[in-house]
Amino acid sequence: MLLIGATSTLLGVLYAMLRNNLKRLLAYSSIENVGIILIALGLSMIFLGTGHRVLGVLGLIAALYHILGHALFKGLLFLGAGAIAHAAHEHDLNNMGGLIKRMPQTAVFMLIGCLAIAGLPPLNGFVSEWLTFQVALQAPALESGVLRALIPVAAAVLALSAALAAATFVKVYGVAFLGVARSRHAAHAHEVDIGMRAAMGILALLCVLFGIFPTTVIGVLDAVPQMLIGHGPPSLTTQGWLWLTPISPRVASYAAPLVFVAIIVIGALTFLFLHARRRQMHRGYPWDCGFGNLNSRMQYTGTAFSMPIQRIFAPVWDLKEDIEETRNPKQPLRTETIRHQLQANDRSWSRVYEPIGRLVLAAARRIGYLQTGSIHTYLGYSFFTLLLLLWVVTW
């Protein structure tokens, strides 16, 4: 389970990184987060199986916390994607841009969701991933050398996946909400109605609360290991509601409310400083190298943003890249237009799912021969089935 979780985590986030369809990107991100849950469960099973009940319970709590957290921030992000599709009539990130000016409240809620899924404090995604890392760091307590070597590798994969997830959702938020509109639909987008905003707002608030008060949430989740194992996490909440201590205060501790207060204070001081300096600032257009005013073609697209990671992990995908360059017939050295098309296919789709689909369809066609449309044939089926059942019962 640990190996399957690590593989799912890394491949899920890599496939999400190259997607520009927002809903498809979020779907691949769900594969990554299921992998994180499996890593935590795998660690729990390993430690419980080797007699380390406290660490096993801690891994189970980390898995349960991530299941709950993923339901919150992924639900928020899918609602945000639906709001964008409703208001801007777009699913492709490369056709969005500048939505923060036209959908400011949705932009705030989506920012909270992106920060939570990226595992940044003080939101709920950080708590579960941090707990998983704390369990993985206790690998030296195991007697098996294989497990002591395997768990750090899985933890390193989790760390790499967390960094790639952060980059993926920087891409999502930056390309969709910042800059200028890349299409007519995005330029005429509008804020969604109060019902859609309220749904996103509730989930965003829960992401914040579950991140600030993890000890309270763990106190509720504690009933699950108590029921399954008969043992709860004794050290997690021993320092009170303020401090989260997975192993012991000497090993590691995390005070989410203090982190939240520090972020608010630093943000307020930064705002006041910039507001005081605003009168002394001189605003002007940035240097544009003589190309004219800023337009949508001068900013990063989702494809361009993920290009460096695509170059590094190219063997993971089945890439089909096509570049067409049109030159001026009178001036052959002058390029008129460049057309770039990139298609990143899922290797598992063509090598695993399509063969299974073909086998299922072939079996269905053969089974379909039984349906002749003749009542006599169906009565014959019933008669011989009855004889077979009678023979089985009497035998």
| DSSP string of 215-281, one letter each residue | HHHHHHHTHHHHHHTS---SSTTTT-SS-B-SS-TTT--B-HHHHHHHHHHHHHHHHHHHHHHGGG-
> What is the phi-psi region of residue 89: left when phi exceeds 0, alpha when psi lies from -120 to 50, beta otherwise?
left
- Residue among 167, 183, 181, 178 nearest 18 (CA): 167
Sign of CA dihedral 135, 137, 143, 145: positive
- Residue among 25, 71, 342, 87 nearest 217 (CA): 71
Q: What local confidence, expressed as pLDDT, does residue 81 receive?
A: 95
Q: At 320, is the secondary structure helix, strand, or coil? A: strand
Q: Which residues contact 82 (CB under 8 A, 6 or more apart)?
A: 196
Q: Which residues contact 294 (CB under 8 A, 6 or more apart)?
A: 180, 285, 286, 288
Q: What local confidence, expressed as pLDDT, does residue 141 receive?
A: 87
What does the radius of gyration of the chain's CA atoms come to, in whole angstroms?
27
CB atoms within 10 A of CB 214: 28
Q: What local confidence, expressed as pLDDT, does residue 164 receive?
A: 94
Q: What local confidence, expressed as pLDDT, does residue 291 receive?
A: 67
Q: At 383, is the secondary structure helix, strand, or coil? A: helix
Cα–Cα distance, 64 to 62 (Å, whole number)? 6
The whole-model pTM stands at 0.84
Residue stretches of the chain with pLDDT short of 50? none
Confirm if 164 and 11 have CB atoms less than 8 A apart. no
Q: What local confidence, expressed as pLDDT, does residue 319 receive?
A: 82
